[in-house]
Amino acid sequence: MPGDARAFWLAFPGKGELREEPVSDPGPDEVLVRTLHSGISRGTETLVFTGQVPQSQWDAMRAPYQEGSFPAPVKYGYLNVGVVEAGDPALVGKTIFCLYPHQTRYVVKSSAVTVIPDDVPPYRAVLAGTVETAVNALWDGRPLIGDRIAVVGAGMVGGSIAAVLSRFPGVRLQVVDADPSRRVIADAFGVPFAAPADALGDCDLVIHASATSAGLTRSLELVAAEGTVLEMSWYGEKQVTVPLGEFFHSRRLTIRSSQVGGIVPGRRRSYGERMALALELLADPRFDTLITGRSDFTDLPDVMPRLVDGSLAALCHVIDYH
């Protein structure tokens, strides 16, 4: 029946709206989910909202359950927590995470949802996609016991990476950010914080997540000879300038990308296993530090512009459904 659900759509760059969505009965091996919370992946979703996804990346940047096409109209998002109301008997009544956009109810294959552990509150589980990105980053970066590591940029991604790394034994870890208010994130995970000018150098691994040229440049300055900078930022159409003509070649530095869409060869884990691990890690209540605001689903068309212009400061902004 039409009108069973409402979803958030980008009507055109800078303008979002709620639209009615038809939802069918679940078929074999499907589930009907009622959304409890969704999360705004601030970096990517604000680029989508402002129409800054490069045309060359329109296919690569499609979310798993995206409808429409870039730049607009498009239904986008991938941090959704809900409860299974019908369908697969093994899942009915379970609270689950799914890579689905901001929508009140939806039907997906049973294999598309991951059951949230009992010790993870549903609102915190919206961070699963970001913590999954952090897990993938560390599989790519391969930190070792005793390493000197810096995380440059303490947003959602950088904060999640620092949170996971804070559990590594024997590492010298530092969170680096130009915004002194981000110290609270480092403090929550028991990790030393530094402004860029005061950061410790001679790092074996620097993980960059500030999405700025200045941050990437400072990352190259902090890494030791033969070291690696793992680039986690996604810049959209923004151009990046870094000093590759200075010490980059003489110190034999490496800049390596990491993208959650692929698992590094040799890591014998499935995507489902990676997501399950991310949810297991979210039992740690310290991750609540990354949730810096909440709004009602009906307010989402007004929330997104405020996140873009900075009048609503946030790391992870949770959307609540009633």
The residue type found at 111 is S
- Report the interhelical angle of 300-309 vs 42-49 (nearest 10°): 100
**Band (2; pLDDT cuts 50, 70, 90):** very low
Distance separating alpha carbons of residues 257 and 275, to the nearest angstrom: 20
Range of the domain at 16: 5-119+283-320
Q: What is the CATH number of the domain that holds 205?
A: 3.40.50.720
HEC readout, the chain: CCCCEEEEEEEECCEEEEEEECCCCCCCCEEEEEEEEEEEEHHHHHHHHCCCCCHHHCCCCCCCCCEECCCCCEECCCCEEEEEEEECCCCCCCEEEECCCCECEEEEEHHHEEECCCCCCCCHHHHHHHHHHHHHHHHHHCCCCCCEEEEECCCHHHHHHHHHHCCCCCCEEEEECCCHHHHHHHHHCCCCEECHHHCCCCEEEEEECCCCHHHHHHHHHHEEEEEEEEECCCCCCCCCCCCCCCCCCCCCCEEEECCCCCCCCCCCCCHHHHHHHHHHHCCCHHHHHHEEEEEEHHHHHHHHHHHHHCCCCCCEEEEECC
Specify if 127 maps to a domain: no
Task: Give the model's confidence band at 263: pLDDT under 50 very low, under 70 low, under 90 confident, else very high.
Answer: confident
Whether 275 is covered by a domain: the verdict is: no
Statement to judge: residues 77 and 158 lie in one domain: no
In a domain, 217, yes or no: yes
Give the residue-averaged pLDDT of 113-131. Answer: 96
- Do 161 and 89 have their domain in common? no
Lowest-pLDDT choice from 2-6, 63-67, 195-199: 2-6
Higher model confidence: residue 267 or residue 287?
287
Residues 206 and 288 in one domain: no
pLDDT of residue 265: 82
Q: What does the pLDDT average to over 251-275? A: 88
Are residues 9 and 74 located together in one domain of the fold? yes
Say if residue 143 is in the same domain as residue 247: yes
Q: Are residues 34 and 148 both part of a single domain? A: no
Residue 154 has pLDDT above 80, yes or no: yes
Output the domain CATH number for residue 79: 3.90.180.10
CB proximity list for 306: less than 8 A, separation 6 or greater: 312
Q: Are 247 and 303 part of one and the same domain?
A: no
In the chain, how many domains are there? 2
Q: Are residues 115 and 155 part of one domain?
A: no
94: left (phi over 0), alpha (psi -120 to 50) or beta: beta
- 44 against 154, higher pLDDT: 154
Higher pLDDT, 92 or 261: 92
pTM of the model: 0.91
On whether both 182 and 232 belong to a single domain, the answer is yes
Length of the chain: 322
Residue 40, in any domain of the structure: yes
Calculate mean pLDDT across residues 236-255. 87
- Residues 144 and 252 occupy one common structural domain: yes
Percent of the chain scoring above 70 in pLDDT: 99
Task: Evaluate whether residue 124 is within a structural domain.
Answer: no
Q: Is residue 226 part of a domain?
A: yes
pLDDT in tens, 273-294: 999 999 999 999 999 999 999 9
Residues 20 and 102 in one domain: yes
Query: Are 74 and 103 contained in the same domain?
Result: yes
Q: Is 55 part of any domain? A: yes
pLDDT of residue 84 exceeding 50: yes
Closest of 65, 42, 56 to residue 233, by C-alpha = 42
Q: Is the pLDDT of residue 160 over 90?
A: yes
Domain presence at residue 270? no
